[in-house]
Amino acid sequence: MSWLVAIGLAIAAFAVGAFAFGIARSSWATFAVALALGLAGYAFQAGPGMPGASPEAIAGTGGVAGWSVVDDRKEMVDPGARSGSDKLIVADAFARRGRYVDAAAMLRGAVADNPRDAEAWLALGNALVEHADGSLTEPALLAYRRAAELDPAGAGPGYFLGFALIRQGRLLEGRSVWAATLDTAGQDSSGRAALELRLARLDELIEQVQRGQLAIPAPQ
């Protein structure tokens, strides 16, 4: 069972790297090989029963994820749906440092102050997903749905919902959400062009996976 999880995570990692971090198509094969080598290392050295690093040990380190989730949200939200809450600014500072629990607490305050703050709801969904290590929890899904209700022509809620599904290895479900988002998003919506590009990259990835071009060898 641990191998199924490892391979699923490898495919999800490839999807994230291919379009979320802009890895060029010419480098996809190299990236796939790197993931395959990682799985080979897992075969020789992994200890599924070995405890991982505690959340306390890594809390506050920030890193790429914290910065990316804030910057991507700002790219995706239309000017008319921007939040005016000072609490969102503080929450973003927490998120950039990887302190997602603190970010979520601030954002709950923001949406309590203004239940119609679409960007605060979106940021809350992101903070909850990151706190759950990329898992789409029910509270996060509720926050995304609320953001979509308040900003129906925006690309942000659909983008991050689809991205969360992709991170879980649910590529086809994520693709469906992204395609539906493009159908409803305004032509001048902020982030529309970025979402179109990432959807195209995802389609290329799915096609290569289906053709077996990115298949990762099964363990011997």
Do the beta carbons of residue 88 and residue 119 sit within 8 Å? Answer: yes
* 47 vs 60: CA distance, rounded Å: 27
**Each residue's pLDDT tens digit, 95-145:** 999 999 999 999 999 999 999 999 999 999 999 999 998 899 999 999 999
CA distances from 162 to 26, 49, 153, 198, 210 (A): 25, 31, 16, 11, 20
Q: Are 17 and 33 in contact (CB under 8 A)?
A: no
Kindly give the residue spans of alpha helices, DSSP state H, lying in the chain.
Answer: 2-15, 28-45, 55-58, 64-76, 86-96, 100-113, 118-131, 138-150, 156-167, 171-184, 192-211
Q: Which amino acid is at 108?
A: R
Does the pLDDT at position 87 exceed 50?
Answer: yes
The pLDDT of residue 14 is above 60: no
The stretch 203-216 carries a mean pLDDT of 72
Residue 12 has pLDDT above 90, yes or no: no
Domain 60-195 -> CATH class: mainly alpha
Range in 4-13, 130-139, 165-174, 181-190 the model is least confident about: 4-13
- Cβ(167)–Cβ(134) below 8 Å: yes
**pLDDT confidence bin for 191, thresholds 50/70/90:** confident
Q: With cut-offs at 50, 70 and 90, classify the pLDDT of residue 52.
A: very low
Confidence of residue 167 (pLDDT cuts 50, 70, 90): confident
Percent of all residues in the chain with a pLDDT value above 70, rounded to a whole number: 65
- Give the global pTM: 0.69
Q: Higher pLDDT residue, 130 or 214?
A: 130
Ramachandran area for residue 36 (φ above 0: left; ψ -120 to 50: alpha; else beta) = alpha
Q: What is the mean pLDDT of residues 13-34?
A: 54
